Structure 1
Amino acid sequence: MKRILTNIFPLVMLLIVGCTNDSESDLISIENEEIVNPETPVTYAADIQAIISNRCLGCHSDPPAGAPFPLATYDQVSARALNGQILGAISRSAGDPRIMPPSGRLPQSTIDLIEKWIQDGAIEE
């Protein structure tokens, strides 16, 4: 029995440690599990509003609850997106204390979706 535990325990530990997600590229988007289609324009109403509501409005409500500015309307979000503030804040590295949201870096697929929305011209509908 001791021989079995001695041989199996390291294997089990290797499997447990090997199955963790510890890199940013391993993160999966909860909001947008589908791959961004380069042919389909990304819109605020269909794609971005839910991300902002779920990840930003806790602090960036109107009036802001601890944040310096609100992100409660399309106009507020698009203005900050088009001047580079949103993409700059969400694209920081995981260890940066200024990363948004403060709870942790967004999945790369979500960042890619927001970036495509901006590149497409921050379309509302």
Structure 2
Amino acid sequence: MSAFVISCESRTYEEISDNTPITQQVKFTADVKPIIDANCISCHSANGPAAYQPFTDYNQVKNKIDGILDRIQRANGDLGKMPQGGSLSQSQINIFIKWKADGLIEN
């Protein structure tokens, strides 16, 4: 007779240590979009001040990933640092980096 132990892990982005490697494959819909929606969409949407560069769908974010990575990794106080007036946590930044490394997977 065999027994299988299955465990599930569910953590929020804030619960992940800034130095904890992300081992699962990062996907836009599940991992990146919630960060965009919480931190970027107020400016980068049709009615926002950055409407000329919207981040409302997968293709828009995918096509701008290099610029996004540049902006979110700038030091506080640097010109063009995003999001304006704040910062993403290192774990959130790591999600963007891993998403690009994983091949910019949508779902």
Q: Which of the five TM-score ranges fits, normalised by the shorter chain? A: 0.7 to 0.9
Q: Which of 1 and 2 has greater Rg?
A: 1
Where do 4+ consecutive residues of structure 1 move more than 2 Å? Answer: 33-38
Q: Which structure features the higher share of helix residues?
A: 1
**Other-structure match for 1:105:** 87
Unaligned segments of structure 1, at least 5 residues: 1-30
Aligned ranges 1:66-105 → 2 under 5 Å: 66-67=49-50, 68-81=52-65, 84-105=66-87
Query: Percentage identity across aligned positions?
Result: 37
Unaligned segments of structure 2, at least 5 residues: 1-11
Following superposition, the deviation at residue 99 of structure 1 comes to: 0.5
Contact 2:27 2:99 in 1 (8 A): yes
How many pairs are equivalent? 91
Aligned ranges 1:25-40 → 2 under 5 Å: 32=13, 33-34=15-16, 35-38=20-23, 40=24
RMSD of equivalent CA atoms: 1.4
1:58 is paired with a residue whose SS is: coil
CA distance 1:42–1:64, change in 2 (3 Å):
same
What is the letter of the counterpart of residue 61 of structure 2? V
**Residues in 1 aligned to 2:21 and 2:31: alpha-carbon distance in whole angstroms:** 10
